Amino acid sequence: MSITRIAVTSERSTYAVTIGAGLLADVARRPDRYGLDGQRLVITCPPVWRHQRTRLDALVPEGQRPAILPDGERAKTLDNAARLYQACVAAHLDRSATIVAAGGGIVGDVGGFVAATYLRGVRLVQVPTTLLSQVDSAVGGKVGVNLPTGKNLVGAFHPPALVLCDTDVLTTLPPRQFRAGMFEVVKYGVIASRPLFDRIGRKLAAILSQHPSVLPKIVADCCRIKAHVVTIDERERGPRRALNFGHTIGHALEALTGYRRFLHGEAIGDGMLAAARLSVMRGTMAPSEEAELRDLLLRLGRRPRVSDLRATDALDVIARDKKVVAGRLHFVLARGLGAVEVVSDVTTGELREAMRAIGMRE
């Protein structure tokens, strides 16, 4: 088995993102090698436990059951975090314990938030089981929950002790879920690597079929970019904001539809198109590169409609976004394909025009 290890340096320590096909089988054989032989609680969700139980069962202590979080973005609530705290109490976790968050971005965010706050912080191991969580949300230490008024408004920075990315688990994902993760993969090409963007386009069929010669390398390349950004700016005071390309409008689309219509990556796809349009309007991106991005995203398949959503309502959501600092929105523009810049002077009129360009109503 070929394993790739990528180091991420946080304020507290350096941890490894470990990537490989069949990795969880190795963890099951040698849990002590991964620091998973002590007191712990596995947090997961119903579809992950249903499909991955044979891989995850070895991580659950004998005589214990995993704590099950409801599936979907709407599960990212303080109420569900409180239920998980009670599961920690029932499992008699102390400060030496490890919380294992085994699932997609929702499980990782909520499970990580519980790890950050239970007993003022316990060890966290992320076991991401979706493409989106493997390339993005499981790396970097951002954890949190949503409020009715917006996404990730309550949270913390709590770096994991370890991230375990077994690309074999992705074979059980519904095609829509896997394709949703691909929007974040494309994002990494846009913000940091034109060669990665081009390779995604050339190898898209092999990636979508999860060919073992292609997929682990794509995951590793995205994780390397994320690791570099997080290492130089863990708390998002500057360069890490680049990772939010497409997220300002994407998060607004999710909130406007009650987190029911879009998978996260799908919303980010529309958000990237709007950000690209604004970049062209500003003269930082060539129309031909915007067209390349649009064509690649079209090849990933249809996304939910936006034609019934109002730009005015989205602007209200954006005004409450956590990327607004001292009354100024930090917005990520593309400087072509492979680089971005963060600006804080985007106007309401520009945002309206960008949203109309992706089909939203006035």
Same-domain check for residues 95 and 229: no
Strands (E), the chain: 4-9, 14-20, 40-44, 67-68, 98-103, 123-128, 142-147, 150-157, 162-166, 324-325, 328-329, 331-334, 340-343
pLDDT tens per residue, range 229-251: 999 999 888 889 999 999 999 99
CB atoms within 10 A of CB 71: 16
Q: What percent of the chain has pLDDT over 70?
A: 98
219 and 349 part of one domain: yes
Q: What is the pLDDT of residue 288?
A: 98
Q: Express each pLDDT in 107-122 by its tens digit.
A: 999 999 999 999 999 9
Residues 141 and 248 in one domain: no
Q: Can you give the pLDDT at residue 196?
A: 98
Same domain as 217, residue 197: yes
Residue 12 in this model has a pLDDT that exceeds 90: no
Using CA atoms, how far apart are residues 271 and 304, in angstroms rounded to an integer? 13
Calpha distance 160→153 (Å, rounded): 20
Q: With bands split at pLDDT 50, 70 and 90, how would you rate the model's confidence at 1? A: low
**Residues near 57 by beta carbon (within 8 Å), at least 6 away in sequence:** none
Tell me 61's DSSP state: P
Distance of CA 335 to the CA centre of its chain: 23
Chosen domain end from 171, 199, 220: 171
| 324 has a pLDDT exceeding 80 | no
| Whole-number pLDDT of residue 322 | 63
| Per-residue 3-state assignment (H helix, E strand, C coil) for 194-258 | HHHHHHHHHCHHHHHCCCCCCHHHHHHHHHHHHHHHHHHCCCCCCHHHHHHCCHHHHHHHHHHCC
Q: Domain for residue 141, yes or no?
A: yes
Tokens of 122: 């316990």
Across 77-99, average pLDDT: 97
Chain centroid, CA 106 distance in Å: 9
- Report whether 227 contacts 4 (CB < 8 A): no
Domain contains 362: no
The DSSP bridge pattern shows strands 98-103 and 150-157 to be: unpaired
Summary mean pLDDT of the chain = 95
323 has pLDDT over 90: no
* 347 Cβ contact list (under 8 Å, min separation 6): none
Tell me the pLDDT band of 320, cut-offs 50, 70 and 90: confident
CA-CA distance, 56 to 6, in Å (whole number)?
23
What is the separation of C-alpha 234 from the centre of its chain, rounded to a whole number of angstroms?
Answer: 15
Residue 299, pLDDT score: 97
Asked if 306 and 215 sit in the same domain, the reply is: yes
The average pLDDT across 29-51 equals 93
Flag whether pLDDT at 70 surpasses 80: yes
Pick the last residue of a domain from 136, 171, 206. Answer: 171
In a domain, 287, yes or no: yes
What is the Cα–Cα distance from 57 to 299, expressed in whole angstroms?
37
Q: Is 156 a member of any domain?
A: yes
The reported pLDDT for the residue numbered 228 is: 95
What is the pTM for the complete model shown? 0.93
79-88 pLDDT per residue, tens: 999 999 999 9
Domain total in the chain: 2
Among residues 171, 199, 226, which one ends one of the domains?
A: 171
* Enzyme catalytic residues: 120, 142, 184, 226, 236, 240, 244, 247, 251, 264
Same domain, 179 and 297: yes
The CATH number that applies at residue 59 is: 3.40.50.1970
The pLDDT value recorded for residue 238 is 87
* Mean pLDDT (whole number) for 211-232: 95
pLDDT bracket for residue 328 (50, 70, 90): confident
- % of the chain at pLDDT higher than 90: 86
- Within this chain, do residues 35 and 97 fall inside the same structural domain, yes or no? yes
Task: Supply the pLDDT for residue 107.
Answer: 98
Measured distance CA(258)–CA(269) in Å, rounded: 18
Which CATH number do you get for residue 291? 1.20.1090.10
pLDDT tens column, 123-178: 999 999 999 999 999 999 999 999 887 788 899 999 999 999 999 999 999 999 99
pLDDT reported for residue 325: 64
Residues 180, 124, single domain; the answer is no
Q: Which domain holds residue 331?
A: 175-357
d(CA 221, CA 225): 7
